[in-house]
Structures are given as structure tokens and as C-alpha cells.
Amino acid sequence: MEVTRALFDEVMVPNYAPPAVIPVRGEGSRVWDQEGREYIDFAGGIAVNCLGHCHPALVKAVQEQSQKVWHLANVMTNEPALRLARKLTDATFAERVYFANSGTEANEAALKLARRWAFNEYGEQKNEIISFERSFHGRTLFAVTVGGQKAYSDGFGPKPGAIHHAIYNDLASVEALISENTCAVIMEPLQGEGGIIDADPAFIKGVRDLCNKHNALLIFDEVQTGVGRTGHLYAYMDSGVTPDILTSAKALGGGFPIGAMLTTTEIAKHFTPGTHGSTYGGNPMACAVGEAAFDTVNDDELLAGVRQRHQHFAEGLNAINARYGIFKDIRGKGLLVGAELKDEHAGRAKEILQAATRQGLLCLVAGPNVVRFTPSLIIPNDDIDEGLTRFEKAIAELFGTQD
């Protein structure tokens, strides 16, 4: 069978609009398409491929586990799931882990657990959830309604209720919404899809204090920021604040689908047998690969390298901006980096992404005005430099000569 981009239009639901490029092979921070053309990968599968493509530790884990057991129903447990859960609880505030397949499923579990906890402890009136404008928590109807972007949730019929949206980095807006009927506040410690917006430390601490005051749980969505992405194992570790529930996915499997919800024993006890579940959650294949990824990333030297690479990345982007003057801000943490366009270039982020692809670079957007970069956490500096060279060629293609 000949596989081309045209086949997508014949057989796939059109909720995506991929380019003509079809990658067929990857190694490290580079991928190759069907024609053998090479690309530097600054996208990382949207912050998923934390160790690049075909990392030896992950390949070994897949090979070894594939010869043991692939799947077991959750009427049983399995060794890889238990090992990974132990490592997650040893490394974080958490005492209990629930495994899922994706970030949205981890968030669904977190939100359901928060409501069940509140129902059992305080009664059915304590069911309100506070999220933030421009936030993103996944695509299930519950998670996408909690997310603060109506474009993703409108048009699907009645939405789940008792969900309110405050303004990120505006503590007063949270104070205006929170009450004794609030069961949880869910937030990203650094907004990803919303434009790579970092939370002010005082804001995070203020939200934690408000949750304590009103007996509400604080949920950190670390689907994108977790597993080394910000230069810390989880972003909360650099915030001075500990959540009650944390969700993790994306980089947790290094490219293999897995999600997790982490919490305390006292909160976890409200998920009794039958209250929630997942057919594939805790799958031994996924957990074996997740364990290999976690073991590799949970290393002080690797995490320090992520922070160093942030500086290298930012310096390169600022040098390009000094020549072309199209960005108003270069921001982010670790290897979650955003470049926001100036107002006169608003709405052109996708054009830049497309031009970058033509120049042999894969990158992302975070809304219409922000170009987003989420490469491998171990991308060599030489690949960063080559990728930025290609990125500058894309900028020159669109914006002409240097200032």
C-alpha cells in the first residue's frame, strides 16, 4: 500500500490538518521523512519525547517487556506498574498513584477524585471547581470544560456544571470565586497551551493559602511541565508549594502512552473499588517504558543540563530577535520555551511553524501568537544551534532582511 498525505484525507477524521511531511524514522533529536529529508526536532511530540527518538534505555525496555507480558486486566496488578508507582512516590510528595493512558484521563481522575473526596467529607454541595482562563487540561468533555478555552468546549451540548474560571496570576480573581462550596482549584504551574505563561511565586502561594482556608484541594496539572521539562523533576518542586493532587503524562512515557495521578493516602482512600477505572491504565508495557524514562530523567545531572540548555536556547532566540525584532518576549522554564510575537505580527505563529518545517525544523505553537519549543531534554547543544539556524532562515523567509 502506498502511504501518502492524500491518504489522510481519504481515511482519517478531519480534526487534524497535518502537513505533507510524514516522518518515518527518528534518532536522538532528528527525524527523517519518507523522502529521506532530515529535520531537527524542537517539538518532541508536544513535550512527550523527553529523551528524543529511540533512546536506548526505552528501546531496551520495550524489547524486554514485549517478551514477558503485554497486558493484564486491572483485576490483577503487575510488576512494572508497582515498580513505577514506588519510584514516583519515593521521588514526590505523593503516597498513592493511579495510572491512566493520557493527560486528559489523569485529569479526569483527579477531578472526579476531588469531587468524591468533597462529597464524602463535606456533602454534595461542595462540588465547585475553579480553573483558569487560557488553561488546558485535555479533551474529554469534563476536562475540556474545566480548561479555560471556550473554542475547545463550545458546540458539544450541555457542559458539566459548577466550573468557574479565574484569571491566571490574578489572586483577587480567585478570591472572588472561591467559597466553602469549592472542592478544588486546578492549575498548571506554567501554562502551556495558553502561551507559556509562568506563574508568579506569590500567586501560587496565595492559591495554596486560599485552598487551605476553604478546605479545597489544590490540583497541579503537570502533564506538560512534569518529568524534567522545566529543569526539575516536577515544576511544583521549584515553587515552594505542594499540591494535594498532581497529574503527569506526556514525558512520563518518553513517547509511550501513559498518564498518572499522584496524591496522598488520605485523599486516595475515596477511590474505592468500582469508583473509577481504566482498561489500559497501568498496562505493563507502558509502565515498563515509563520506568525506564523516569529512571533516566530523575537524575540531578540531567536536570541541571535542562536548565543549562534553557539558557543556551534563550540566548540563541534573543540573538535572532535582536536581528529581526519580531518577538516581544522570550519566556518559559527549562525546555518549555515560548517566543511571543509583537502585536504587529499577531496571528502569524502558525506561518512561522510552517516556514520552519520547510527549512527542516519541527516546532510548535501555543495559540496564534506564540511559537513553542519543547525538544528532547538531552538535545545536544550542536543540535540546538543547527535548529536555531534553520529557525532564523524561516524568519528571514517570512520577514525579509535583518533590522
User: Could you list the active site residues?
Assistant: 136, 221, 250
Q: Any known ligand binding at 279?
A: yes
Distance in angstroms (rounded) separating the CA atoms of residues 351 and 338: 15
| E-state strands within 243-351 | 245-248, 259-263, 327-333, 336-341
238 in a labelled binding site? no
- State the Cα–Cα distance between residues 294 and 377, nearest whole angstrom: 12
Could you identify the residue written with the cell 535548529?
387
| 327: exposed, middle or buried (Cβ count in 10 Å: 0-12, 13-18, 19+) | buried
For 139-244, list the strands marked E by DSSP: 163-166, 182-187, 190-191, 197-198, 217-221
Indicate the Cα dihedral angle 51, 53, 54, 59, nearest 10°: 50
Q: Alpha-carbon distance 204 to 199, whole Å? A: 7
173 is in an annotated binding site: no
The CA-CA-CA angle for residues 222, 294, 40, to 5°, reads 80
* 192 labeled part of a ligand binding site: no
Strands (E), 34-178: 38-41, 96-100, 128-132, 163-166
104 has binding-site annotation: yes
CA distance 48 to 364: 13
Instruction: State yes or no: 224 annotated in a binding site.
Output: yes
* Residue 363 phi, psi (nearest 5): -140, -170
Q: Which of 305, 367, 312 is nearest to 339 (CA)?
A: 367
Pairing of β 245-248 and β 259-263:
antiparallel
Is residue 223 part of an annotated ligand binding site? yes
Cell 535572532 appears where? 320
- Do the annotations mark residue 225 as ligand-binding? no
Task: State the CB neighbour count (10 A cutoff) for residue 188.
Answer: 27
Residues 256 and 114 sit within 8 Å (Cβ to Cβ): no
Question: Which residues are annotated binding-site positions for N(2)-acetyl-L-ornithine?
Answer: 139, 278
